[in-house]
């Protein structure tokens, strides 16, 4: 009888541990999904930034070529650069992948 009581207590303790572990697994699954989504968003952002950088590089090369060819003899007024958002990872959030928008 005493052995059975000890075994029942152990079963109860193991069941509680099992429930706690299941809850932790569920919590980790939610966090993993959130991080995967943030990662996808950040990858998309990086791809857009790379394309913008390539575009600016081509524009710069074109302007340099025009300067070298003498097409820029008369001053040309360039339109103001569009105000594009600048993204940076915020260290004050719980997740390092949180993105905050700043104006340039």
**CB atoms near residue 60 (< 10 Å):** 10
Which is more confidently placed, 85 or 67?
67
Is residue 102 over pLDDT 70?
no
pTM of the shown model: 0.52
Residue 97 exposed, middle or buried by CB count within 10 Å (0-12, 13-18, 19+): middle
Give pLDDT, residue 43: 98
Q: Is residue 73's pLDDT more than 90? A: no
Q: Work out the pLDDT band at 70, boundaries 50, 70, 90.
A: confident
Q: Is the pLDDT of residue 28 over 60?
A: yes
Return the number of other C-beta atoms located less than 10 Å from residue 63's C-beta.
14
Closest C-alpha to 78, from 59, 52, 61: 59
Distance CA 69, CA 26 (A): 65
């Amino acid at each position: 009888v005493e052995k059975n009581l000890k075994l029942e207590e152990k079963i109860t303790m193991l069941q509680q541990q099992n429930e706690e572990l299941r809850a932790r697994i569920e919590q980790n699954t939610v966090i993993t999904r959130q991080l995967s989504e943030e990662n996808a968003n950040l990858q998309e952002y990086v791809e857009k930034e790379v394309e913008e950088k390539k575009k600016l590089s081509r524009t710069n090369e074109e302007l340099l070529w025009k300067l070298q060819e003498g097409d820029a003899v008369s001053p040309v007024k360039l339109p103001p650069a569009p105000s594009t958002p600048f993204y940076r990872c915020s260290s004050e959030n719980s997740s390092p992948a949180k993105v905050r928008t700043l104006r340039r």
